Amino acid sequence: MIPVTKPFLPPREEYEYYLQGIWKREWLTNNGPLVNELELKLKEYLELKHLLYVSNGTIAIQMAIKALDLKGEIITTPFSYVATTSSIVWEGCCPVFVDIHPKTFNIDPSKIEAAINENTSAILATHVYGNPCDIDAIQTVADKYSLKVIYDAAHCFGSKYKGKSVFAYGDISTTSFHATKLFHTTEGGAVFTNDPDLLKKMAYLRNFGHDGPEKFVGVGVNGKNSEFHAAMGLCNIKFVPEILKRRRELSERYNLMLQPLKVVRPVIQPESEFNFAYYPIIFQCESVLLKAISALQGIYVSPRRYFFPSLETLDYVKPSQNIAVSKDISRKVLCLPLYHDLSFEEVDMISRALLRAQNY
């Protein structure tokens, strides 16, 4: 079986080296030395001043909403993973969906202003598939209406905009280090901000509000991560350049093989460096997509309908209007297998199956 993704695993002996230290110190969690080392190495690699390593990408979004004291309505995208919307609802706010751009699949900045009212407090946008949003246009709208900006950058490790990590933008940016991501710590995530005071606030939030053993600052949560997870990150981070290179090569192979296939691909935001986190293709209609899935499953390949369904279908959100593009794309999008040790031969086999399905 060829899955849609597989986690990158470093040499076992390198992970075991870190485990020996954990056993010796008997310091398993609560901001241990490996967590601190990973945060330093991430800041060095990403060329960023401030970040916090947290337990997952979902708690990262929830902490961002809490840290910014957001209330009322938050404008967001229906074309994202469910955690983007569920985090807004979990924090007692109301998601308001704005449709996506038909070429980038990111939130369409030209449609944001019409969704703003006196209850709007922020914009929460997803950089879909690691493709940066139109960051400048979003910030222009946010500045005009004094709104906060959070970016769900779960897919974005290695993506850049105007020469800087995508994580450098917005009031707070969040990411995921889940095992399915190109850089992972098994489970994990991070929050990023350029504001040191906001970072300090999130540091309290991450650890129950502790300010010493017997003093608390505000309401906190358990957003910490363990030494075991940090160890995986420390092993993996040195392989990121190799991982990015390989994913580019595999994506270019797909591009070559699938030229005759009647599909479209997302347009990468100008002035960006894409990380090739996913390989999505958009079919002409849902029936053609389903035919392609059947053909791939017939040769033991498991693609993924990602993102599907469009999030306005969730039973805990208000009905939405004017999101036809998200509805349409979500029904027609398919992510093909893409991971570090996928072979060119497997890419060719997948591609040939798709082409056969198109011709019969």
DSSP output for 317-355 = S----S-HHHHHHHHHEEEPP--TT--HHHHHHHHHHHH
Question: CATH fold of 240-359, please?
Answer: Aspartate Aminotransferase, domain 1 (3.90.1150)
Residues 6+ apart with CB under 8 A from 290: none
pLDDT for the residue numbered 319: 86
Collapsing DSSP states into helix, strand and coil, what is residue 117?
coil
What does the pLDDT look like over 42-65, one tens digit per residue?
999 999 999 999 999 999 999 999
Phi and psi for 342 in degrees, rounded to 5?
-65, 135
Domain coordinates in residue numbering, the chain: 12-238, 240-359
**Which segments of the chain have a pLDDT < 50?**
none
pLDDT at residue 320, as a whole number: 85
Closest CA to 123 of 132, 109, 288, 131: 109
The candidate with the shortest Cα–Cα distance to 168, out of 47, 36, 37, 42, is 47
Give the rounded distance of the alpha carbon of 343 from its chain centre. Answer: 25
181, 157 in Cβ contact below 8 A? yes
Q: Residue type for 176, please?
A: S
Q: Which of 147, 8, 154 is nearest to 84 (CA)?
A: 154
Identify the pLDDT of residue 211.
86
Radius of gyration of the chain (CA): 21
Nearest residue to 304 via CA among 341, 333, 275:
333
Pairing of strands 172-176, 189-192: antiparallel
Question: Would you call 301 helix, strand, or coil by DSSP?
Answer: strand
Model pTM above 0.75:
yes
Correct CATH for 12-238 of 3.40.640.10, 3.40.50.300, 3.40.1180.10, 3.40.50.150: 3.40.640.10
